[in-house]
Each structure stands twice: as structure tokens, then as C-alpha cells.
Chain A
Amino acid sequence: MRSLVALRMVVHDRSSTAGSLLGVVAIVFLVGQQLSVFFGLLSYMSVLVDHSGADAWIMSANLRNADSGNLISGRYIDRILGLPDVAWVEPVLIGNGLFQTSDGSYETVRVIGLRRPRLAGGPWQFARADERALLDVESVTVDRLDLAKLGHPGLDQVREIGGKRVRVRAVTSGARGFQGTLVFASIDKVKEIAKPPPGRYSAILVRFTEGARPEDVLARIRAVLPGCSVYSTAELSRLTQTYYIQNTGIGGSFVFSTVIAVLIGVVIISLTMYASVLGRARDFAVMRAIGGRRVDIAWVVVCQALIIAGSGLFVGFVMLATLLNATRGSGIPSFFPAYVPPALAGATMLVSLLGSLVALRVALKADPASVFH
């Protein structure tokens, strides 16, 4: 019956309900949008690592992130291949170059060189053509979202990177890096473009055999290569993301804007629910007089907050989903790990309850004796 009273009050007090609803929607939508951009940027930071298909990455010593390693010797490949529980080992060479666009201008690109035929560490999703395109030595891929920037190169069109002839043979999807435009090519082509010292690579990727204990294999590799950084893929991804969050101001900026969004929502919820409860003070006094306890009044107010929060969550998530769908094909970074929506919903519920505390305090002060005055 108390829940029914709460529901009826919420439905009846339309203006205050709309105000509180606005607060919840503001929290869900604004924080959700911030989170999607944040996680989108996070995914950019470690995009190559996360999609490499490898279990371990070997890079130069004293590594701070996946993009800042020095070159390492290719001789390590054979040493690791000889270890137990290693399925394959592949080098990756990353270089920078200037991509000549159709109008003759240049764009800086990051060229990821992959060894054929495995192409480990290569593109994972294609908008046009597929990974077989990279089996040709002069082939490169460009990403769907970078097409405009690169002058809309068509398939099989010839371009230059770093003054070297390349042929665009595939268009990737979702291959966007935090440090710029990603172009995949064969390792031989990148050697031409970046001109590294012979036999040196940016990283060595290792895949373990089925059933191997990752800690054991990693320990063996570390023992063999004490002068290198050896990370599991997850470790390197975390290291890279942490580095950028701490050193670019993204983390602080995100926290600040999220706190502001939550504060705005809480203030709106607090004020509107406070006004609503003030308007209902007489009703709460009546409920107390006819036998309601303080806990019954609290139940009604908390139920009101939960009903409003639930409704606001629904509206907020619908709006958020609409926005994310609308921007999915754009250059705006947006990504929602599966655990974020429930976490956001739970946090919003808590914040809504927090916002109702002031109202709850007022409601609990309802004096049953006041109904006789």
C-alpha cells in the first residue's frame, strides 16, 4: 500500500516529478556520454595491443606505454620460439610517415608493419576487402573514419607514404589510434618507409599454446630476455591506458566533468523532491496520525525516489542509446564496456536516493499533531 501511495503521488505531482526526472536523466545522459567518450579514448590508447591476438608483448626495457618503446633485436624471436608453450612469435615494426593525399597535401600516419603470412597484430575488422589484401608487399589499409582526412583514396589506388609507393587495398573499421591515423602494411614496406636499423623491430608478439599457464610462460620469457619489457597483453594495455590517463589530463578532465554532471543532477533531484515533499507535508502528517510510523513515511519517500530514478534511467538510457547510435559511424570516440550500463544504473540509483535525503528529512518531521490545528 505504501508503494502504491508513492506511485500515486509521483503520478499526481507531475511538475515536481518531471523536475526530478530531469535530474536523473541529466545524470544518466551526461555521465553516460562522458563515460562513452572516456572508454572510447581508452580503447584508442591501447587499440593495437587489445586487438593483437597475442598473449604477450616484448618491447624495449623501461617501457612507459606501448607507443614509446625503442627498437629491439629480431634475434630474440628465435630464442623465444625455443621456449616451451610458445605457439608462435611475430615481430611488429611501427613507423611514422607522411601520407600523400589526392590533392597533394600530406597527413602524418602511423604505419604498422606486419610479417606475412600470419599478419599478427594486424587489422581485425574490415569495411572493404579483407586481410588477404596485405599479403602483397606494397599493400596498405586505411581506416573508414580516416578516408576523408586522407583524401578518399579508392581501393587499388596508388599513394605515397614517406615517399614510398603504396597501394590502398583494404579499408579497416575501428582501427583508430590515440596517437594518430593507423595504416597497416607489410613489414617490408615499413622498413622502406621508416628505415630502421637492420634486424630491429618495435615489438615481438607471442602467442602461447592452448592450456599453457600464462604466468609460467611469461616468467620463462623474462628469464631469457632480462633486458626487455615483457608484458601480458592485458598488462600492457593497462600500462598504456594508465600512462595516458595520468599524463594527458584526460582522467582529471573526465572526473571533473562527471562530478559536475552528477552535482547538477543531485541538486535538481534534491530541490524538486524537497518541494514535492513540502507540498505533501500535510499528507505525511495525516499518514502519521492514522497510524503510520516514521519508517512508513521513509518507505514512501524512498519509493518515490526509486520510481523516479527507474523512470529516469529508462529515459536516460534511451536517449544515450540514440546518441551513441547516431554517432557510431562518426569520428567521436564512444565505447561502452558491458559492465558500464549496470554500474551507471546502480550509481544513478544511489545518487537519486542521495538527492532524496533532504526531502526524506522534511517528510520525517511531519508532525501528526499538526493535522488537528
Chain B
Amino acid sequence: MAMLRLEGVARDFSDGRQVRRVLFPVNIAFDPHELTVLSGPSGSGKTTLLSIMGLVLRPSEGRIFLDGEDVTTLGDDEASRIRLQHYGFVFQQPMLIEGLSVLENVLLALGVQGVRPNSDALWKAETILKTLGLAEAAHMQPRLLSGGMKQRASIARALIKDPAILLCDEPTSALDAESGQAVMGILKRIAIDEGRVVVVVSHDFRVFPYADRLLKIENGMIASDTREQTGAERPIQT
């Protein structure tokens, strides 16, 4: 069974006078050990799709299944709980909170609902930061970091919870080529080695070589899916 499955999911936006469909019904499933790249031109609906997958935006129609459970119409608090327990997010901009150190930003992902991170969590955060090459930056303010370091810190924030699903919105767009490759290498490793669902929204062609599966979206519809083209049911696990 796929970890995350969307059935007939569509989304309309209204400006008060007219309703515009930005995402037409899609049926799609995402599996662990797989890095999926969602690509497409600006305004094609890929960020909308990512938002719906991340339970921060409700679909106008269709159903979302997480590990077989229908999570389409969860209440706000319940959706927050699901996001806290199962999702990690890496945004286009790192969006670290100024005033908190890098380490505190990472720990916030665990303590955002008021739970005080224990010593195990602290050890884990430090380990993740070390793995991502940020051990020295743990107690620094985000503004003192380079763009690449900030993005790696935001990946650390996403990983601290051991999320089953990692959703990344243009994670390399604000980075130089070298930093972008480093970040994609990390995301690839997370998907393959740690068995997570990793979905990356990007229209940067340099990201495509890292994809186990490439989905192209155009005009709110899935234009192509490499899994369907190759007939592969599951990605090759390494």
C-alpha cells in the first residue's frame, strides 16, 4: 500500500466573482524509498498539489489517504497533529525563525505543540546537524548562515521528527549550483537510505537527475509520469 495516495484530488480558487480550477482531478500515489520530483512551469499547479499533499490546503474534491487512512476532512487540530507526526517540510526559502538559534529552530519542530524536547531530542538534533555539516553552526543565529547552510538547517528541522513524508518546495531555487547539489544529495539519501517518501517540487532541470520518479504538471494536470512510462511499480532500492 502506498504511503500517500491522492484520489481524484482537484482544487478550485475563487476571487469572489469567479471560480478558477487550478488543479484538475489527479490520481497519484507515493511510496517510501523514492524521491519524486514534481516539475512544471510557474502556475501549473505543482505547489497547490504539494500543499494538498501536506494537509495545509484542503482539496475542493477528491480524497487523500495517508497509510490507508482517509485524512481529507480532518479538523484543523487533527491535521496539525498529522503534520507534526508524519510530515517534514522544506520550503523554497529556509524560513528559519530569527531569534532562535539553529538548534532551537530544529527542536521547535518537535516542541511546537508545547512538548519540551528532552535530552534524547537534543542529542538527535545535534547528530542531524552534524550529519548535515552544521555542527559548528548549532548555536548560531540563522542570519549568520549562508543560504546553503540555512537550507540544510531547514532540512534538519524537517528530519528531526523522523517524518515518513518529506515535502520540499523548490529547495534549491535560492541556492548556488554547488549548494543545490549538496541539498539534493541529502534529500536523495534520505529517500533511499531512510525509506521515506520524498517529494520535491522544482522546475530546475539540475534536480531531475536525482529523481527516482519525475512527474510533470502542466495547466493543473499531470502531463507525464516516468513511473507510468517505465511501468515500474516500485523504485529500485539501493
Cβ of A342 under 8 Å from chain B = no
Contact assessment for A5 and B80 in the assembled complex, using a CB-CB cutoff below 8 Å: no
A4 CA / B95 CA spacing, docked (Å): 18
Which residues of the partner chain B approach A9 to less than 8 Å between Cβ atoms? Answer: 97, 99
B50→A372 contact, CB < 8 A: yes
- In the complex, whether B51 has a CB less than 8 A from a CB of chain A is yes
Number of A-B pairs whose CB atoms are under 8 Å? 99
In the complex with contacts A1-B117, A299-B114, A372-B169, A291-B95 CB distance below 8 A: no
Contact in complex: B112, A296 (CB < 8 Å):
yes
A368 within 8 A of B: yes
A367, B80: Cα distance in complex, Å: 12
A159 to chain B, nearest CB (A): 69
List residues of B (134-187) whose CB comes within 8 Å of A's CBs. Answer: 157-158, 169
Chain B residue at minimal CB-CB distance from A294: B76
Q: How far is the CB of B119 from chain A (nearest CB, A)?
A: 14
A287–B111 CA distance with the chains assembled, in angstroms: 10
Known A-B contacts A1-B108, A12-B98, A372-B91; A292 and B47 likewise in contact (beta carbons under 8 Å):
no
* With contact pairs A2-B114, A292-B80, A293-B76 given, residues A372 and B47 touching in the complex (Cβ less than 8 Å): yes
Q: Which of A258-297 contact B (CB under 8 A)?
A: 282-283, 286-296
Interface extent on B, as a size class?
35 or more
Residues A292 and B113 in contact, CB atoms below 8 Å apart:
yes
Q: Collect the chain B residues with CB atoms within 8 Å of residue A286's CB.
A: 91, 95, 97
Instruction: Give the residue name and chain of the A residue nearest to B115 (CB).
Output: A1
B112 touches A372 (CB 8 A): no
Which chain B residues (28-50) contact chain A, with CB distance < 8 Å?
47, 50
**Inter-subunit contact B51/A5 (CB<8 Å):** no
Least Cβ distance of B103 to chain A in Å? 11
Given A293-B76, A371-B95, A372-B169, verify A2-B50 contact (CB < 8 Å). no
A9 to B54, CA, bound (A): 27
The segment from B16-24, B81-89, B205-213 found at the interface with A is B81-89
Tell me if B233 counts as interface (CB < 8 A to partner A).
Answer: no
**Given known contacts A8-B99, A283-B97, A289 and B83 CB-to-CB distance under 8 angstroms:** yes
Q: What 1/0 mask marks residues of chain B from 64 to 101 whose CB sits below 8 Å from any chain A CB?
A: 00000000000011001101110101011001011110
Cα separation A5 to B111 with both chains bound (whole Å): 10
What are the residues of chain B within 8 A of A373 when measuring CB–CB? 47
State whether B108 touches A290 (Cβ < 8 A): yes
Closest to B107 in A: A1
CB distance from B216 to the nearest CB of A (A): 19
- Per-residue B-contact encoding for A170-214, CB less than 8 Å = 1, 0 else: 000000000000000000000000000000000000000000000
Q: Which residues on A sit within 8 Å (CB–CB) of B130? A: none
Nearest-neighbor residue (CB-CB) of A9 within chain B: B99
Q: Which of A8, A283, A289 is close to B89, meaning CB atoms less than 8 Å apart?
A: A289
The reply to whether A8 and B112 form a contact with Cβ atoms under 8 Å apart is no
Is residue B223 within 8 Å, beta carbon to beta carbon, of the partner chain? no
Cβ-closest chain B residue relative to A8: B99
B89–A290 touching, CB < 8 Å: yes
Contacts of A2 in B (CB 8 A): 111-112, 114
Contact yes or no, B54 A12, CB < 8 A: no
Smallest Cβ distance from B124 to chain A, in angstroms? 15
CA distance A178 to B127 in the complex (A): 73
CA distance A101 to B80 in the complex (A): 81
Given contacts A1-B108, A372-B51, contact A293 B56 (CB under 8 A): no
- Please name the residue on chain A nearest to B83 by beta carbon: A291
B102 to chain A, nearest CB (A): 12
Closest 3 CB pairs of A and B: A291-B84, A1-B111, A12-B99
Given contacts A1-B117, A282-B95, A292-B113, could you give 17 more A-B pairs where the C-beta distance is less than 8 Å?
Answer: A1-B115, A9-B99, A283-B95, A283-B97, A283-B98, A287-B108, A288-B80, A289-B91, A290-B87, A290-B157, A290-B158, A291-B83, A291-B112, A292-B112, A369-B57, A371-B95, A372-B54
Task: List the interface of chain B (C-beta within 8 A of A).
Answer: 47, 50-51, 54, 56-57, 76-77, 80-81, 83-85, 87, 89, 91-92, 95, 97-100, 104, 107-117, 157-158, 169
Q: Give residues in A with beta carbon < 8 Å to B.
A: 1-2, 4-5, 8-9, 11-13, 282-283, 286-296, 299, 367-369, 371-373
23 A-B contacts, Cβ less than 8 Å apart?
Answer: A1-B108, A1-B114, A1-B116, A2-B112, A4-B104, A4-B111, A8-B97, A8-B104, A12-B98, A283-B97, A283-B98, A286-B95, A288-B56, A289-B83, A289-B89, A290-B84, A290-B109, A290-B112, A291-B85, A296-B114, A367-B56, A371-B95, A372-B56
